[in-house]
Amino acid sequence: MSAPSAVSPAIPTPARPVSAWVLAQLGSIVGPQHVLSDRGALRTYASDALATFAVEPGVVVLPASTAEVAEVVKVARSAGLPVVPRGSGTGLSGGALPVPGCVLVGLSRMKRILEVDLANRWMRVEPGVINLDVSKRIAPDGYYYAPDPSSQSVCSIGGNLAENSGGAHCLKYGFTVNHVLAARLVTYDGTVVDLGSAVPDTPGFDVLGVLVGSEGLVGIVTEVTLRILRKPEATRTFFATFPSTTEAGHCVSEIIGSGIIPAAIEMMDRLAIEAAKAATGLDWPDVGAALLMDVDGPLAEAEHTSQKAVELARRTGALEVRVPKDEDERLLMWKGRKSAFAAVGRISPNYLVQDGVIPRTAIAEVLAEISRLSQKDGLRVANVFHAGDGNLHPLVLFDAKRPGEEQRAEALAGEILRICLRHGGSITGEHGVGADKAPYMGEMFSEADLDTMARVRCAFDPEQRFNPGKVFPTPRLCGDRPGIYSPHPAELSGLAERV
Amino acid sequence: MAVLALPATPADAILGVPPTRVFRPASLDEAEEAVREIARDGLRLAFVGGGTELDLGAPPSALDAVLYTTGLGRVLEYAPLDQIVTVEAGVPLAALQARLRGEQQMLALDPPWAERATVGGVVATNAFGPRRTRYGAVRDLIIGVTLVRADGTRAKGGGKVVKNVAGFDLPKLMVGSLGSLGLIGTVTFRLHPLAETSSTVLFPQVTPVAAGRLVLEMYAAQLEAGAVAALWTDRGVEVGCRFEGFEAGVRQQRDRLSSIAQKLQMPAEVLDGSSADGFWRRHTAAREAPASLRAKIASQPAESPQAAAEAWAILREALQAPRAVLYPTLGLGFVAGDVPEAGALILAIARARAALALHGGHLILHAAPAQVRGQTDVWGPAPAATFLFRRLKDALDPEHRLAVGRLVGGL
Ligand SMILES: Cc1cc2nc3c(=O)[nH]c(=O)nc-3n(C[C@H](O)[C@H](O)[C@H](O)COP(=O)(O)OP(=O)(O)OC[C@H]3O[C@@H](n4cnc5c(N)ncnc54)[C@H](O)[C@@H]3O)c2cc1C
């Protein structure tokens, strides 16, 4: 649950700074100007977009190549320091939140597009490349990269990979994991290994499938081969308003039940519409709920499915159906949707972004439950979400200046996750578990489930060098083989010490 | 309630390696108990579903017991409106599809031997058919799994909602694992609506190069084929492109492809609805017909017609009644035939592998006579990530008792 607009917390400083030996080693690998250890810089990197959590890293390193990343990891290892990878820092679950005294490895300098192969429909990029820049590069050729998180103009491909990020158009096209063909990984001991391939069905376990969504816990990704798609011939969009989220939820079920696979189908409730209007100046009416939907594909298919979907919207109680008159108006509608998180800042001093999943058919019921909770607690909740796959994003509004309100907002956001679980859903659909939701993992998974996942993590990183303390609710050692720590010679001679 | 171990018969052997006992649990509880019992005795175990792809992989390097999953035959939860289904591993794919068809839905996987192949087996072997072009492979459709680890621990991963990033992705780890990391007990899949209609444009006689050209032209024209298959025999190559969806879109796409064919001067035939069944039956027959050799070939998609043509030219020399199926949009295909003489085939496989490697590709033997297996690695060169495969094996099956030696790298 993130609070992009929450008050800055006090940032704890690590008990001991990173030793001069480590700083010198890192400087010799990436160049001293790319090793940041002054207080100002360390504060800058103390949080991701989950600003309620902040920890100063021991040092920030900005490598420029796979080889540099590997050397950096080796130094961190020999000094016994944890390593936290970081992309653009837009994560909403504290995935890139520093661990006290860690080496924070920022990938923002690695942003080259290395190779484009249109005939085979893939593109090889460095992890710091911004999501939208992938599509921009191939747009002139009529291709695009499908996963489109709302943060796509700032978030990195490496972060997308680590979080298995989704977006509005993932309903039809799938998530990051369905669009990654291969990745280069630096593991805990600095080994560089390629997982997957642009050629399908390499023998062995689907380690690439495990890597995607592993939240920076198994290594640092330094290269990614992405699947790219030919643009669909036509896209048809409509915006429909409803008296309440009940009718809108029913409409979603009817459309999907009719055999249509929309490219995207997004829902906003009254409060979210109000916020989007305040932020963009869109002339949307004041209604209980709205749906924004795209269908795409070959022209005749898109025409047919959009007509059919509009009919279904009318039949399920739409008050009004608007079709954008041109591409500009269409983009404006989508801007209204994509800016909805930030827009909530217009109607509330602070808010938390929650991310939970329920079966699509439970949308109306769950929103009603959330609304009851919201009334009981006296806190407003705005809903703007990926309705097609039941991925809710309740925004819990609060005022941090009122004593205790932030805690109550946190508690309410937590209750929402429990509602999702009671309906057979998940505690996160795209923002990840990170530092934020680790405590809830035990409510979704059994001890045996978590043990099995921990074993998988340990197979990649037996020392838990990467992102320790994230995802898993309780610390666990890797089997009966605790971290194989061997002191560095410099350390033995008293030049360095462990933090 | 102890699960009875039954004495094995010669029919229980896997690639000629006989177990001493078999288990036929009737529920997941019984299966878990059997696995515990086997663990207690330190026995080496393999799981068998419909037995359709048992020849995939190397023979087990040790085998004491076989556990048949066919008794795990229940559909546990089917939510048509949420388009998800949870089934036990032993449910045959065709039986599941029949059930889903009642709600105008499908699991978008169409591998061969659907009558016998169980969903657990389909996951464990990463089996697929022509639909993969549009809907992806098992990894793109599996959203949850319950597995029983080597020590009998039951664990689940994923869930029953389509979108979910909580925890490590255990479902994907099971795909293609051949049961070497644990018993796949139940699987949850996302489902798709059945298409309203379909139409296939058939190219009865094309060259491999023309088949490749056709695929590129389709992308250029923004056509979205649901399936493309090329059937190779000694008489030549025929290609079928299928469009699926609502009537209007299907009609428009098949007409456009027909005009592209005219422009390229490629004779083509439009086969609407069930009139295309003949072609797709020939396709399935080509994949299912008994053959002592079956090899999967893979390369970059755009190069696959050329790569397949080269592999075909080499392999057919060493095969009787050779045939092949290529999915040019995927870069994957299968070559099959009977083996008159093992020595010639061993050489041919090595040459075909070298030819494919030039296209970044590889060849995996799905079936081969014992003499051939003895002289050539069924998986080919082990990928760089094999050390991670080994560590995963160590982590989940520390005593190496499950499907031992079947996987790449001797795992
Ligand atoms: C306004 C807003 C809207 C958003 N909308 C969406 C949305 O629609 N859908 C969605 O899915 N998310 C959304 N997000 C969340 C966020 O943008 C995504 O999770 C994104 O993928 C994070 O990318 P990043 O580069 O900022 O990664 P960071 O936040 O820097 O890191 C995220 C995780 O990735 C790891 N990591 C980063 N790079 C690497 C690497 N190279 N190797 C290994 N691990 C690495 C980090 O350790 C961390 O665990 C939104 C966020 C904001 C602020």
To the nearest whole angstrom, how far is the Cα of B91 from the nearest Cα of chain A?
23
Do residues A72 and A26 lie in contact, with contact meaning Cβ atoms separated by under 8 Å? yes
Residue identified by tokens 């909805």 is A340
Please state, in angstroms and rounded to a whole number, the distance separating the CA atoms of residues B301 and B312: 16
Do residues B65 and B23 lie in contact, with contact meaning Cβ atoms separated by under 8 Å? yes
Per-residue pLDDT of chain B (411 residues; tens, 9 = 90+): 567 899 999 999 999 999 999 999 999 999 999 999 999 999 999 999 999 999 999 999 999 999 999 999 999 999 999 999 999 999 999 999 999 999 999 999 999 999 999 999 999 999 999 999 999 999 999 999 999 999 999 999 999 999 999 999 999 999 999 999 999 999 999 999 999 999 999 999 999 989 999 999 999 999 999 999 999 988 899 999 999 999 999 999 999 999 999 999 999 999 998 999 999 999 999 999 999 999 999 999 999 999 999 999 999 999 999 999 999 999 999 999 999 999 999 999 999 999 999 999 999 999 999 999 999 999 999 999 999 999 999 999 999 999 999 999 999
**Chain B interface includes A305 (CB < 8 A):** yes
Query: Would you mind telling me the total number of residues written for chain B in this entry?
Result: 411
Nearest to B161 by CA among A267, A387, A163: A387
Question: Does position A494 have pLDDT exceeding 60, yes or no?
Answer: no
What sign does the CA torsion over A71, A75, A78, A82 have? negative
Question: Does position A288 have pLDDT exceeding 80, yes or no?
Answer: yes
Question: Does position A346 have pLDDT exceeding 80, yes or no?
Answer: yes
Confidence of residue A9 (pLDDT cuts 50, 70, 90): low
**Chain B interface includes A477 (CB < 8 A):** no
Helix, strand, coil percent content, chain B, rounded in steps of 5: 35, 25, 35
Q: What's the pLDDT at B295? A: 98
Pocket test for ligand 1, best of A108, A156, A163, A430 (most atoms within 8 A of CB): A163
Q: Which of A200, A212, A426 sits opposite B166 (nearest CB)?
A: A426
CATH hierarchy code of domain B6-69+397-410: 3.30.43
CATH hierarchy code of domain A20-109+456-498: 3.30.43.10
Can you read off the two tokens belonging to residue B185? 């007990």
Domain B197-228+238-273 matches domain B289-373 at the CATH topology level: yes
Q: What's the pLDDT at A282? A: 87
Q: What's the pLDDT at B20? A: 97
Tell me, using a 6 A CB cutoff, whether residue A91 lines ligand 1.
yes
Residues from chain A contacting residue B219 (CB–CB below 8 Å): 121, 230
Q: Report the chain A residue with the minimal C-alpha distance to residue B377.
A: A203
Residue identified by tokens 């999943």 is A357
Average pLDDT of the segment spanning A321-325: 94
Question: DSSP label at A104?
Answer: E
B269 φ/ψ angles, rounded to the nearest 5 degrees: -130, 135
To the nearest whole angstrom, how far is the Cα of A378 from the nearest Cα of chain B?
30
Confidence of residue A12 (pLDDT cuts 50, 70, 90): low
* Ramachandran assignment for B245, one of left (phi > 0), alpha (psi -120 to 50 degrees), beta (any other): left
CATH number, domain B197-228+238-273, options 3.40.190.10, 3.90.226.10, 3.90.1150.10, 3.30.70.790: 3.30.70.790
Whole-prediction pTM: 0.95
How many other CB atoms are there within 10 angstroms of residue A243's CB atom?
13
To the nearest whole angstrom, how far is the Cα of A39 from the nearest Cα of chain B?
34
Do residues B266 and B210 lie in contact, with contact meaning Cβ atoms separated by under 8 Å? yes
The predicted complex's ipTM stands at: 0.97
To the nearest whole angstrom, how far is the Cα of B7 from the nearest Cα of chain A?
32
How many other CB atoms are there within 10 angstroms of residue B284's CB atom?
19
**For B255-398, where are the E strands, in sequence order?**
269-272, 293-298, 320-327, 332-338, 362-367
Beta-strand pair B192-193/B75-79 = unpaired
Do residues B333 and B299 lie in contact, with contact meaning Cβ atoms separated by under 8 Å? no
Q: How many CA atoms within 13 Å lie on the side-chain side of B309?
A: 14
Amino acid identity, position B253: Q
Do residues A108 and A62 lie in contact, with contact meaning Cβ atoms separated by under 8 Å? yes
Q: What's the pLDDT at A10? A: 63
Domain extent listing, chain B: 6-69+397-410, 75-193, 197-228+238-273, 289-373
Q: What's the pLDDT at A486? A: 39
CATH number, domain A113-230, options 3.30.365.10, 3.30.1330.10, 3.40.50.920, 3.30.465.10: 3.30.465.10
Question: Does position A490 have pLDDT exceeding 70, yes or no?
Answer: no
Q: What's the pLDDT at A498? A: 33
Domain extent listing, chain A: 20-109+456-498, 113-230, 233-436
Question: Does position A485 have pLDDT exceeding 80, yes or no?
Answer: no
Nearest to A134 by CA among A224, A196, A64: A224
Do residues A138 and A154 lie in contact, with contact meaning Cβ atoms separated by under 8 Å? no
Tell me, using a 6 A CB cutoff, whether residue A128 lines ligand 1.
no
Do residues A347 and A397 lie in contact, with contact meaning Cβ atoms separated by under 8 Å? yes
What secondary structure, in 3-state letters, does B172-205 show? HHHCCCCCCCCEEEEEEEECEECCCEEEEEEEEE
Query: Helix axis angle, B208-220 relative to B304-316, nearest 10°?
Result: 160
Class of the CATH domain delimited by B289-373:
alpha beta
Indicate yes or no: CB of B249 within 8 angstroms of CB of A424: no
Indicate yes or no: CB of B248 within 8 angstroms of CB of A304: yes
Q: What's the pLDDT at A13? A: 62
Q: Which of A206, A257, A432 sits opposite B176 (nearest CB)?
A: A206
What's the distance, Cα to Cα, between the start and end of chain A in Å? 30
* A413-471 pLDDT, tens digit each: 999 999 999 999 999 999 999 999 999 999 999 999 999 999 999 999 999 999 999 99
CATH hierarchy code of domain B75-193: 3.30.465.10
C-alpha distances (whole Å) from A369 to each of A248, A257, A298, A366, A412 are: 16, 24, 40, 5, 12
Average pLDDT of the segment spanning A168-192: 96
Q: What's the pLDDT at B93? A: 98
Residue identified by tokens 């005219």 is B262
Please state, in angstroms and rounded to a whole number, the distance separating the CA atoms of residues B229 and A427: 41
Average pLDDT of the segment spanning A182-189: 98
Indicate yes or no: CB of A205 within 8 angstroms of CB of B177: yes
Q: What's the pLDDT at A156? A: 98
Q: Which of B84, B161, B380 sits opposite A426 (nearest CB)?
A: B161
Residues from chain B contacting residue A205 (CB–CB below 8 Å): 173, 176-177, 181, 388-389, 392
To the nearest whole angstrom, how far is the Cα of A377 from the nearest Cα of chain B?
27
Average pLDDT of the segment spanning A61-65: 98
Q: For residue A483, with 0-12 CB atoms within 10 Å meaning exposed, 13-18 middle and 19 or more buried, which class applies?
A: middle
* A218-246 pLDDT, tens digit each: 999 999 999 999 999 999 999 999 999 99
Q: Give the residue, by CA position, lying nearest to ligand 1 atom 9.
A: A149
Q: Which CATH architecture has domain A233-436?
A: 3-Layer(aba) Sandwich (3.40)
The closest-lying atom of ligand 1 relative to the alpha carbon of residue A152 is 17
**For A340-439, where are the E strands, in sequence order?**
350-353, 356-357, 381-386, 391-392, 394-398
Sheet holding B197-206: strands in order across? B269-272, B197-206, B236-245, B227-233, B320-327, B332-338, B293-298, B362-367
Q: Which of B217, B376, B388, B390 has the most A C-beta neighbours within 10 Å, making it the best mutation to test the interface with A? A: B388
Please state, in angstroms and rounded to a whole number, the distance separating the CA atoms of residues A237 and A326: 10
Beta-strand pair A83-86/A103-106 = parallel
Largest CA-CA distance found in chain A, in angstroms, rounded: 79
Tell me, using a 6 A CB cutoff, whether residue A98 lines ligand 1.
no
Non-local (6+) Cβ contacts of B233 within 8 A are B286, B322, B323
Is A87 strand, coil or helix?
coil
Question: Does position A7 have pLDDT exceeding 60, yes or no?
Answer: no
What sign does the CA torsion over A456, A460, A462, A464 have? negative
* A124-165 pLDDT, tens digit each: 999 999 999 999 999 999 999 999 999 999 999 999 999 999
Nearest to B304 by CA among B235, B405, B245, B230: B230
Beta bridge partners of A240: A291, A321
**Chain B interface includes A33 (CB < 8 A):** no
Confidence of residue A278 (pLDDT cuts 50, 70, 90): confident
Tell me, using a 6 A CB cutoff, whether residue A149 lines ligand 1.
yes
Please state, in angstroms and rounded to a whole number, the distance separating the CA atoms of residues B181 and A490: 41
Do residues A437 and A215 lie in contact, with contact meaning Cβ atoms separated by under 8 Å? no
Confidence of residue A15 (pLDDT cuts 50, 70, 90): low
